[in-house]
Structure 1
Amino acid sequence: MKVFDDYAFKYDEWYEKPFGKSAYSLELECLKNLHIQVDSSLEIGVGSGRFASMLGIKYGVDTSKRLLKIALTRGVRSIVAKAESLPFKDMVFDEALIVVSLCFFEDPTASLREAHRILKDRGILLLGLVLSESPWADFYKEKAKKGHPIYTHAKFYSYPQLITMLKSVGFKLDRIYTTLFEDPQDEKPIENRKILDGFHPKGGFFCVRALKLSL
């Protein structure tokens, strides 16, 4: 998506601002509750490599060349590729990670199907995302209406929609955590760092682990 090339450095710098830095650390903590260190892993929609580098994921794909250059400085080896058409053989990875990217993919179901294809049997899919039931989704939709260059391209999915997509391509939900229990804003550091087991629609960030089933 061209917008991520155009705003690559501003996008990455967001993580250094007061809100972005605190949100990132909380989201990372949530993901770590579900992440398992494995031999081979890939982040789909790796962006600037912030999540992959901190989770020990060495490989990534993204459509933005500029973001991938930043990811390389963080030790993440990445190539330009679309989530819907991954340039890998079947069953080569133990884990696939998709964080805050599913809402930007052209075809989320096709992307999940590709993740299923490149994972080994009983491989792990780890998602970090905002779901449409959350007040944070409404917050970002309002930004989109006002012409925000990135959120105008986002589409948020409901929890039932996500589960349906996962099941349709051969994944089984294993566990979900919810965090970011504050009124939506994007300037002040986050104070409530609670992370709860399960799906809680009043939260703002959801960490989902699913397991690959053989089709």
Structure 2
Amino acid sequence: MAWFDRFAKNYDSWYETKLGRFVDEVEKRLIAELANFQSGEKVLDIGAGTGNYSIWLAKKGLHVTAIDQSTPMMELAKKKAYKEGLRIDWEIADAHSLPFSDESFDLVISVTAIEFMEHPDTVLKEAMRVLRPKGRLVIGLLTKDSDWGELYQKNSQKDSDSVFKKAHLYTEQELFQLLPQTFKLKKGLYFPPQKEFDIKAAWNIEIAKQREQAIRAGFFALRWDKE
């Protein structure tokens, strides 16, 4: 059984909360800024889970292939895509050994998935392999040195069945160890975890901190370009 199988049923409930929707929007804006995707491009979503990013990308006119190791997660993703009338290629696969030919995609993304991979360096090398020349690899990572990271760590210590029990949260220094290539970095999710908050005030805080690219960001978005 894949680690995420047990969390599939309730996984999307996070996106139904006010805070979850805000966080999702913050992260997607950062990913979109770096990815600079164009309609008609072929994109691979690694660790697609219940299809949050796959569906988002398909709605923007990209040809999406999505992989994950959790069958229950993927079944939920398929149902959501079907309801939206979206065509996405779904495949159960191991990110450490992608079942695709070299230079198959214009863009590869992976958001909040690398943290749970046993050998993230191998996954990213595989992602670069399947990218076409001039293609982009864009990933989103949860961070350790932040209010969010502290919350995730606290939850994993308190609950042995926490989804974050097997997560490796990243420090900024560790980013340089992921791939031995120059990357672009955008930091975000500065607004702390709060159930009750004003959306406008939250965005004001978020935008101001992002302009500074201050410390204590809860999310890193990175991009590598293939020559």
Provide the TM-score with structure 1 as the length reference. 0.87
1:51 to 42, 50, 53: 53
> Which runs of 5 or more residues in structure 1 are unaligned?
none
Match of 2:17 in 1: 17
1:53-102 per-position Cα deviation (integer Å, ceiling 9, x unaligned):
21235111001111112222323321111111111111111110010111
Quickly say closer, same or farther: Cα 1:198–1:172, change in 2 above 3 A. farther
Corresponding pairs, count: 208
User: Retained in 1: the 8 A contact 2:19–2:193?
Assistant: no
Equivalent in 95, 101, 105 of residue 89 of structure 1: 101
**Distance in 1 between residues matched to 2:141 and 2:196, nearest whole Å:** 21
Candidates 201, 208, 211, aligned match of 2:222: 208
**2:125 counterpart of 1:113:** yes
Structure 2: runs of 5 or more not aligned: none
Paired with 1:134 and 1:212, the residues of 2 have a C-alpha distance of 30
Residue number in structure 2 paired with 1:68: 74
Q: Displacement of 1:7 after TM fit? A: 1.4
| Structure with the bigger percentage of helix | 2
Alignment check: 8 A CA contact 1:178 1:198 kept: no
Provide the residue aligned with 1:35 in structure 2: 35
Which of residues 170, 176, 179 in structure 2 aligns to 1:166? 179
Q: Following the alignment from structure 1 to structure 2, what is the Cα–Cα distance between the partners of residues 46 and 53? A: 10
Report the alpha carbon displacement of residue 122 of structure 1 after superposing the two structures with TM: 2.3
Report the Cα offset of residue 198 of structure 1: 7.4
Aligned AA for 2:22?
A: S
| Structure with bigger gyration radius | 2
- Matched letter for residue 15 of structure 1: Y
Distance 1:153 1:209, change over 3 A: same
CA contact (8 A) 1:43 1:60 kept: yes
| Alpha-carbon shift at residue 192 of structure 1 (Å) | 2.1
Q: Structure 1 residue 199: deviation in Å?
A: 4.8
State the SS of the aligned residue for 2:153. Answer: helix
| 1:36 Cα offset (Å) | 2.2
> What does 1:165-184 align with in structure 2 at a 5 Å threshold?
165-167=178-180, 171-173=181-183, 175-184=184-193
Cα RMSD, aligned residues only: 2.0
